[in-house]
Amino acid sequence: MIEIFGFIGLFIAAMLAGAINSIAGGGTLVSFPALVAFGIPTINANATNTSSLWPGSVSGAIGYARDTERDRALTLTLLLPSGLGALLGAFILVVTPEETFRRVVPFLVLFATLLFAFKDVYARLTGRVAHEHVSWLGRVWGFLFQLFIAAYGGYFGAGIGVLMLGSFSIMGMRDVHKMNAMKTILAAMINVIAFIYFAVRGLVIWHLAIWMGIGAIIGGYLGARLAKRIDQHKLRWFIIATGLIVSTWLFIR
């Protein structure tokens, strides 16, 4: 009976994680601890969590389909570093200790959250309040920083949504819904590449990954539909709150 409730809990956790990832990012902070609490070793829990959440990212991307059409060229530009970084991060997870990388991550997530929170101040300082413009320099920044974000995503992944939103703000993007749409597609790429690597290395617990993947698909699509109905000002504060929670959890951890 306890095991049945445990399976139900994992499904609910995956559904919530899929929805949170579609809206702001940070869903790993729900699903990963659930797997650990279920008794799964940390590395296997991480691999299984990644394997279960990528379908939710894909379903979220489908929910944002119309928004992503407007930024197709920029999205395609960032897909390459997303794939390469994810492969690198997954490799690092398997072959090296995580302590050094873990110490840096909380600061990066907090930094990205503050960037996103004060993006309007930054826009005024750079004279880009009235319109959205991504310069070539912004694209170079986006490419390089996306490579790092993807490496972290392949390694663990908590807070990659917040990091991407902060990066998009520096690039010159202003529309929260467009930023969310692009973030969801890039997150799907990162998770799929990491999932393939973990699967090849035999780290995935398949029956749990499939079960949680179904929940993530449902949550990812519903989360994307919900986010598009939320006022951008409210969504912005939700994203900031999520980033602060994620960074606090990582500092404590």
Query: What integer pLDDT is reported at residue 70 of this predicted model?
Result: 63
Taking the C-alpha atoms of residue 170 and residue 157, their distance in angstroms, rounded to an integer, is: 21
**pLDDT tens-place string over residues 79-125:** 999 999 999 999 998 887 767 776 787 888 788 788 777 766 655 55
**pLDDT tens-place string over residues 10-24:** 999 999 888 887 776
**pLDDT tens-place string over residues 179-201:** 878 888 898 899 899 999 999 99
Query: What integer pLDDT is reported at residue 109 of this predicted model?
Result: 79
pLDDT higher at 142 or 250: 142
Taking the C-alpha atoms of residue 223 and residue 60, their distance in angstroms, rounded to an integer, is: 7
* Burial class (CB within 10 angstroms; exposed 0-12, middle 13-18, buried 19+) of 148: middle
Q: Which of 93, 106, 104, 87 is nearest to 41 (CA)?
A: 93
Taking the C-alpha atoms of residue 15 and residue 221, their distance in angstroms, rounded to an integer, is: 10
Region of poorest pLDDT, from 31-35, 98-102, 148-152: 98-102
Taking the C-alpha atoms of residue 84 and residue 64, their distance in angstroms, rounded to an integer, is: 24
Residues above pLDDT 70, as percent of the chain: 86
DSSP 16-62: HHHHHHHHTS-THHHHHHHHHHTT--HHHHHHHHHHHHHHHHHHHHH
Q: Which of 145, 118, 133 is nearest to 243 (CA)?
A: 118
Query: What integer pLDDT is reported at residue 36 of this predicted model?
Result: 85
In this prediction, residue 37 has a pLDDT band, given cuts at 50, 70 and 90, of confident
Region of poorest pLDDT, from 112-116, 121-125, 135-139, 224-228: 121-125
Give the range of the structural domain holding residue 19, as residue numbers without chain letter. 2-252
Residue 248, CA distances (Å) to 74, 148, 161 in order = 31, 21, 16
Containing H/E element for 139? Answer: helix 136-155
Mean predicted lDDT score pLDDT of the chain:
82
Residues 186, 75 contacting (CB under 8 angstroms): yes
Number of domains forming the structure of the chain: 1
To which residue do tokens 């750079």 refer? 126
Taking the C-alpha atoms of residue 149 and residue 81, their distance in angstroms, rounded to an integer, is: 9
Residues above pLDDT 90, as percent of the chain: 28
Predicted confidence (pLDDT) at residue 208 exceeds the cutoff of 90? yes
Q: What is the SS3 string spanning 78-119?
A: HHHHHHHHHHHHHHHHHHCCCHHHHHHHHHHHHHHHHHHHCH
DSSP 141: H
